Amino acid sequence: MHVRCVMLFAASLAATTTALADDLRLSGAPGLLERMTPRKESIEAEAGVRLALKPETAGEGLFDLLQGRADAALIDSATEAVARGLSLAKPGSIKGALEVVQLPVGQVPVAFYVHASNPVKTLSRDDVARIYSGKVSNWKDLGGADQPIKAFALSPLNGSRMAVNDTLLAKESMAARVTTRGTSKDVLTLLSAAPNGIAFLAEQVGDASVHPVAVEPPVTTPLYLVIRGEPSPAQKRIADGLRQTFSTPSVASK
């Protein structure tokens, strides 16, 4: 198993390792934690610990880990990108040097959706970049109806948002007209009521009010279990369980 150390700036230097107790506190994106819930008991049995799940964005999950409010973070983006986003969103939150360890547990797709009434089925990466940077503003320019594009996005601390920024926008800022929400479910609620909308989500969904748009080539983001210090046997077994969990695509409900 490949283990990668990443040098970050951390909010606290009080400890470099966290001892396992009866509960191991795991922060992660709500959709990711929801997906692992059916296997939670088997992962706990293999690892010999109970998992206390705390739904958070990637940025907040990393912040919880650095502040000692979590023992591990399930992060759907490269840790360097999450740390960069955290420092921008929370100025002054990153202080002092700290080594954290990334345990790779899979790749997750960034899923793009439009309203069910939208005839557009496929977009290029450049098309999506032009939408979210504000360089294209009408669906007619992309093979759709003559109507303005309403773009929705996840919050800046969300791992999928960071993947879109780094992969599609080359770290360029999203247009000010993009509407953001904290969770995929909140974004989906907005999209389902907007015939001219487009959104990217942290997971695949099954909802008749929207349909997926194939982005070519597909956009994916790495998934890591991030800890402080070298992984314990229990943490390694948790990582193994997460790899099994995220080895197949998922469909989440609204």
CA distance 101 to 65: 11
Tell whether the model's pLDDT for residue 11 goes beyond 70. Answer: no
Structure tokens that stand for 53 in this block? 């799940």
> What is the tens place of the pLDDT at every residue in 107-117?
988 999 999 99
Q: Are 104 and 224 in contact (CB under 8 A)?
A: yes
Residue type, 115: H
- The answer on 120 and 38 residing in a single domain is no
Partnered with residue 197 across adjacent β-strands are 150
In a domain, 62, yes or no: yes
CA distance 235 to 225: 9
The CA dihedral of 40, 44, 45, 47, to the nearest 10 degrees, is: 140
Tell whether the model's pLDDT for residue 234 goes beyond 90. Answer: yes
> What is the tens place of the pLDDT at every residue in 87-108?
888 887 666 545 789 999 999 8
Q: Quick one: 247 exposed, middle or buried, by C-beta within 10 A (0-12, 13-18, 19+)? A: exposed
201-206 average pLDDT score = 80
* Domain region containing 64: 4-107+223-245
> What is the tens place of the pLDDT at every residue in 114-137?
999 999 999 999 999 999 999 999
In a domain, 25, yes or no: yes
Within 10 Å of residue 142's Cβ, how many Cβ atoms?
Answer: 19
134-163 average pLDDT score = 94
- The answer on 68 and 121 residing in a single domain is no
Tell whether the model's pLDDT for residue 39 goes beyond 50. Answer: yes
- Total number of domains in the chain: 2
Output 26 or 87, whichever has higher pLDDT.
Answer: 26
- The answer on 94 and 8 residing in a single domain is yes
**pLDDT (0 to 100) of residue 99:** 72
Query: Distance between the two ends of the chain, CA-based, in angstroms?
Result: 35
**pLDDT (0 to 100) of residue 12:** 35
In a domain, 85, yes or no: yes
**pLDDT (0 to 100) of residue 163:** 87
- The answer on 92 and 145 residing in a single domain is no
CA distance 7 to 24: 23
In a domain, 232, yes or no: yes
- The answer on 120 and 192 residing in a single domain is yes
> What is the tens place of the pLDDT at every residue in 165-201?
888 998 678 999 999 998 888 999 999 999 999 999 8
- The answer on 238 and 203 residing in a single domain is no
- The answer on 227 and 103 residing in a single domain is yes
In a domain, 250, yes or no: no
**Model pTM score:** 0.81
CATH number, domain containing residue 229: 3.40.190.10
